[in-house]
A and B are shown apart, each in its own frame.
Chain A
């Protein structure tokens, strides 16, 4: 083999940040090594974005079967095999993971299965799976080690009764009842999934608003919708302690008035955010700065130590795969001196949540825009007035847009409804091209589509909505 030991770029972590960085650096003619401990593709591909979408498709089928009567079908005798749905989800993951392996081969990226630790400037120690240890050096070391579920005092995941997303994604059986702690994207998606599968779901959020990162109007509509489906949504509620019993978990909840209550759930899912995988990288010995577990990096993803970069979840929120991939490109292109590289604007990273109804948003909420002292114009359009949504009998949702009054710039877009996660990109393109409210109003939207609601919301911001 004649193993090399010196590279231009070493990437630690093979998730959507790391593998993208490795490919881009190779495209630029640099010698690249990718070090991954477990699975290429990272959490996104193996335990996150992708396999949950497979499960949620199953939930959608369950919902469709339940509402088939609306379209004249009476479906009475159907059966469900949970194991097959979980297998579909795992199959998709392993297929994509081997796809990444292929991409690495195709791009001639050296992949080493090992755990890496920085031991000096430009130097990594590798602990291989067979127990051996080696060292490599690289001019540029990109840390893309991701994040893991954040622990909550008094709630200790045990892999059986108290789950994190790993167990929630591969259930052997459906529990009768489930407590979901945390109402970010992960918590809300699992709440939606298990509810559609017939589980009695309770969702608690420590902050005052469910979906705390979303615009309040979005949060209100989604909580109401989930409540109607039978999900008990408890905002401003904390879990103080848990005690695991044979039949499940007894949880002590504290509500907004400080009232304690004891509740029994068969299973508990801990989804209260993430912490960075930064503890065993050798950061402290070298004085690499962190901020509450996340590695500090500048707009070009550089840490305070020469030649060390951090991208994706490990470098701080928003902890999203597309942010990691985008940072990978910015980081690599900047260190390689590609002209016209622009830093990421973390304010405009889009976010998608695949509960029912779906949520898609980018940019400022109305509240943050006003707090920034902007003079804004807000436009809204309800899917009740959208023909396509009505035809699909799926008209729960709306589009809300926020424009700067002076510049006409799109400051934020917030959408709830069927497939809004696919529609958000339209606003994203407009934003990155600095399209104004007039540009968007001038654009012709195809009929009949749900995205016509985007157009109407823009027209509403100009005070000239047609269908409302």
Chain B
């Protein structure tokens, strides 16, 4: 018993809740060393290679490419050769009964407990067949060369390129920030007319999980393109037989059946079907309102934020008569924009962030990341919750550019058409409830950011100037900061800068001095 160990879905970040197996890099029966790369796992944010946390022999793969599993779920069994299968079943069964998943989650992420089809003999013959099908490795001349060591590529892709004499500068990276992955190499080799044996693993690896492969340049009929996307088939992996060498519907279907067609429905359908449990007719019956994905994210992130970061608040009243007048003037002069008070706040905050780089940060608990430019997140209310689209490098943008971009981002947020790049990241958040008649409020920091500014509505007050009552318009700014990385004096200085920018907007025109 003691010799049986389990490989589990690792947790790669605060927000990581589940991962999808993209590819196994070793086969059942292989010995591996601690730290060796064993499989590729994709999350909603990144695709990464999992390194073995210990050494051993891969006995059985439990989670296959395409399976999505929660963090800590078992993906493979590690055991010496000749281990008793019944012992393994016992370990897996125990795992199934004691793991921390809720009932609902279990139905979603049910582990395949029955032995997979590929036991010893069957597996060997299938692997051979798969290899024969794909053919020999041949790198086209056009891709050959020496890869320089500054190419941005996954470790595996880089090692492969060096070993095979392939120049990665010819390969287009489609990963995050243009990182080149093995699948990019594969499609480049195929596009250039070469062949590349699929990784030795389960036969379904012959079809590339294609979600991150750029298929734009592959000629295909519209129907084929759509099916390929729906089924996660790389068009590059299809043999084009259509007219003019285009990939047609039949080619995608063929590629799909070669891959061993996955079941059309997985997970979510069952999850949706799982009816909420009802109590026996209470006097005031409640309705179980399902949590949307957005609601879950808000819930998880903000309670984490309150737990991890000691919030403290600094508030200031800002006189906004000057920006009100300026705003009126710009809007009257310029047909192409309608500047809001919030646009001024974004600009003022962005400039203050650059002036106080200690506030322009992200903090993950260990490392403080300081940024050159201010990527300002702005909270936008939606029916389903809220989202914070980002004005990138807002310190470098004109008021008009900020206003135009903000208008588009706000509408996109409401129409749910924001792309992840448009709302993930950010170095500081602004939340404005002024339009709801709120005079002041406080907000919770959006990690890994370290501060958030709550902006209230403008209100008229009377101030005595030289003994005479004069009307002035004030607006409350309330900043919550993470005391682990921002101290009270720093927050106060930062707010002073924001206040100065807003009360003397001419300063913003002049630029940072």
Show the binding face of A for B, using Cβ within 8 Å.
8, 28-30, 121-122, 139-140, 286-288, 304-307, 335-339, 433, 438-439, 442
Task: Please pick, from A304, A337, A439, the residue contacting B408 in the complex, using a CB distance under 8 A.
Answer: A337
* Chain A positions within 8 Å of B412 at CB level: 336-337
Q: Map CB proximity to A onto B406-418 as digits: 1 under 8 Å, 0 otherwise.
A: 0110111011111
Those 7 A-B pairs whose CB atoms lie nearest each other, nearest first: A337-B412, A336-B415, A337-B417, A28-B415, A121-B338, A305-B335, A306-B337
Say yes or no: A305 contacts B336, CB within 8 Å. yes
Asked if B53 CB lies within 8 Å of chain A CBs, one says no
A433 to B246, CA, bound (A): 13
In the complex, the answer to whether A287 meets B222 with C-beta atoms within 8 Å is no
Provide the main secondary structure of the chain A interface.
Answer: loop
Residues of A within 8 A of B243 (CB): 438-439, 442
Asked whether any CB of chain A lies closer than 8 Å to the CB of B148, the reply is no
Q: Mark B315-343, 1 if CB is under 8 A from A, else 0.
A: 00000000000000001000111100000
Question: Given the known A-B contacts A286-B335, A287-B335, A307-B338, are A29 and B407 also in contact in the complex, defined by CB atoms under 8 Å?
Answer: no
Q: List 28 A-B contacts (CB under 8 A).
A: A28-B414, A29-B382, A29-B414, A29-B415, A30-B414, A30-B415, A139-B410, A139-B411, A140-B411, A287-B335, A288-B335, A304-B336, A305-B335, A305-B336, A306-B335, A306-B337, A306-B404, A307-B338, A307-B407, A335-B408, A335-B411, A336-B411, A336-B415, A337-B408, A337-B415, A338-B415, A433-B222, A438-B243
Task: Check if B512 is an interface residue, CB within 8 A of chain A.
Answer: no
Q: Determine the distance from Cα of A337 to Cα of B338 in the docked complex, in whole angstroms.
A: 19
Within 8 Å CB of A286, what residues of B? 335
Which residues on the B side are within 8 Å of A29 (C-beta)? 382-383, 414-416
| B414 CB, nearest partner CB in chain A, Å | 6
Interfacial chain A residues near B414, Cβ < 8 Å: 8, 28-30, 336
In the bound complex, CA of A139 to CA of B336 (Å): 13
Q: Given the complex of chains A and B, what is the CA–CA distance between A128 and B63 in angstroms?
A: 64
When distances are taken between beta carbons in the complex, the residues of chain B under 8 Å from A288 are: 335
CB-based nearest B residue for A336: B415
Indicate if the CB atoms of B338 and A306 lie closer than 8 Å: yes
C-alpha spacing A433/B410, complex, angstroms: 33
Question: How many A-B contacts are there with CB distance less than 8 Å?
Answer: 57
Binding site for A on B (CB under 8 A): 222, 243, 331, 335-338, 382-383, 404, 407-408, 410-412, 414-419
Cα–Cα, bound, A336→B382 (Å): 14
- Of A28, A30, A139, A433, the contact of B407 (CB 8 Å cutoff): A139
Question: CB-nearest residue of chain B relative to A307?
Answer: B338
- How far apart are the CA atoms of A305 and B333 in the complex, in Å? 11
Q: Which residues of B contact A122 (CB under 8 A)?
A: 338
In the bound complex, do residue B331 and residue A337 qualify as a contact, i.e. CB atoms below 8 Å apart? no
A335 to B407, CA, bound (A): 9
Bound: A442/B248 CA distance, A: 15
Nearest A residue (CB) for B336: A306
How far is B331's CA from A122's CA once the two chains are assembled, in angstroms?
Answer: 11
CA distance in complex: A302, B48 (Å): 43
B331 adjacent to A121 (CB under 8 Å): yes
On whether the beta carbons of B417 and A339 are closer than 8 Å, the reply is: yes
Give me 9 other A-B pairs in contact (C-beta within 8 A), A8-B414, A335-B411, A433-B222 excluded: A28-B414, A29-B415, A304-B335, A305-B336, A306-B404, A335-B408, A336-B414, A337-B408, A337-B415
Contacts of B411 in A (CB 8 A): 8, 30, 139-140, 335-337
Q: A3 vs B417: C-alpha distance in the bound complex, in angstroms?
A: 28
Chain B residue contacts of A336, Cβ below 8 A? 411-412, 414-415, 417
Residues of B close to A30: CB separation below 8 A: 411, 414-415
Residue of A nearest to B418 (CB): A337
Q: How distant is the Cα of A307 from the Cα of B415 in the complex, in angstroms?
A: 16
For the complex formed, measure the closest distance between the CB of A188 and the CB atoms of chain B, giving whole angstroms.
36
A334 to B338, CA, bound (A): 19
Indicate whether A306 sits within 8 Å of B407 (C-beta atoms), given known contacts A121-B338, A438-B243: yes
Contacts of A305 in B (CB 8 A): 335-336
Residues of A within 8 A of B222 (CB): 433
Docked pose: A339 CA to B404 CA in angstroms: 18
Q: How far is the CA of A369 from the CA of B222 in the complex (A)?
A: 27
Query: In the complex the two chains form, what is the Cα distance from A438 to B244 in whole Å?
Result: 10
Q: List chain A residues, Cβ under 8 A from B418.
A: 337
Min C-beta distance of A415 to chain B, whole Å: 25
What separation, in Å, do the CA atoms of A91 and B408 have in the docked complex?
A: 43
C-alpha gap A8/B417 in the complex (Å): 15
A173 to chain B, nearest CB (A): 52
Instruction: For the complex formed, measure the closest distance between the CB of A169 and the CB atoms of chain B, giving whole angstroms.
Output: 39
List chain B residues, Cβ under 8 A from A338. 415, 417
**Alpha-carbon distance A234/B504, docked complex (angstroms):** 72
Minimum CB–CB distance from A130 to chain B (whole Å) comes to 30
For residue A26, give the distance in angstroms from its CB to the closest CB of chain B: 11
Bound Cα distance A28, B416 (Å) = 8
With both beta carbons as reference points, the residue of chain A lying nearest to B221 in the complex is identified as A433
Chain A neighbourhood of B337, CB < 8 A = 306
Chain A proximity of B293: nearest CB distance (Å): 15
Within the assembled complex, what's the spacing in Å between the Cα atoms of A69 and B335?
Answer: 67
Separation in Å of the A164 CB from the closest CB of chain B?
Answer: 35
**Residues of A contacting B415 in the complex (Cβ-Cβ under 8 angstroms):** 28-30, 336-338
Whole-angstrom CA separation of A14 from B404 in the bound complex:
28
A86 to chain B, nearest CB (A): 44
Give the chain A neighbours of B404 by CB distance below 8 A.
306
B417's nearest neighbour on chain A, judged by CB, is A337
CB distance from A159 to the nearest CB of B (A): 39
CB-nearest residue of chain A to B404: A306
Q: B331, B335, B416: which has the most chain A beta carbons within 10 Å?
A: B335
Closest-CB distance, B419 to chain A (whole angstroms): 8
Chain B contacts for A433, CB-based, 8 A: 222
B3 to chain A, nearest CB (A): 52
Q: How far is B409's CA from A335's CA once the two chains are assembled, in angstroms?
A: 10
A28 partner residues in chain B, CB cutoff 8 A: 414-417
* Least CB separation from A438: chain B residue: B243
Report the bound CA distance from A306 to B401 in whole Å: 12
- Residues of chain B contacted by A121 (CB below 8 angstroms): 331, 338
CA distance A305 to B416 in the complex (A): 25
Closest to A332 in B: B415
Bound together, the chains give a CA A439 to CA B242 distance in angstroms of 11
The distance from the CB of B409 to the nearest CB of chain A, in whole angstroms, is 8
A residues less than 8 Å from B338 (CB atoms): 121-122, 306-307
* Least distance between A24 CB and chain B CB atoms (Å): 10
Which of B337, B411, B416 has the most CB atoms of chain A within a 10 A radius of its CB?
Answer: B411
Closest approach, in angstroms, between the C-beta of B341 and any C-beta of chain A? 14
B419 / chain A contacts, CB cutoff of 8 Å: 339
A337 to B380, CA, bound (A): 15
Q: How far is the CA of A30 from the CA of B380 in the complex (A)?
A: 13
Bound CA–CA A364/B418 (angstroms) = 38
Which A residues touch B417, using CB under 8 A?
A: 28, 336-339
How far, in angstroms, from A122 to B414 measured CA to CA in the complex?
17
Residues of B within 8 A of A306 (CB): 335-338, 404, 407
CA distance A114 to B416 in the complex (A): 31
The answer for the CA separation of A198 and B331 in the assembled complex, in Å, is 61
User: In the complex, A442 Cα to B338 Cα: how many Å?
Assistant: 54
The CA-CA distance from A305 to B412 in the complex, in Å, is 20
Name which residue of chain A comes closest to B384, CB basis: A29
Shortest distance in angstroms between A174's beta carbon and chain B's nearest beta carbon? 50
Q: In angstroms, how far is the closest chain B Cβ from the Cβ of A334? A: 10
A residues less than 8 Å from B383 (CB atoms): 29
Which of A121, A122, A433 is the most central at the interface, judged by chain B CB atoms within 10 Å of its CB? A121
Complex: A286 Cα to B334 Cα, angstroms = 10
Inside 8 A of A438's CB, which chain B residues have their CB? Answer: 243
Measured CB to CB, the nearest residue on chain A to B412 is A337
Report the minimal beta-carbon distance from B410 to chain A, rounded to whole angstroms.
7
A6 to chain B, nearest CB (A): 8
Residue of A nearest to B222 (CB): A433
Could you tell me the distance in whole angstroms from the C-beta of A313 to the nearest C-beta in chain B?
A: 23
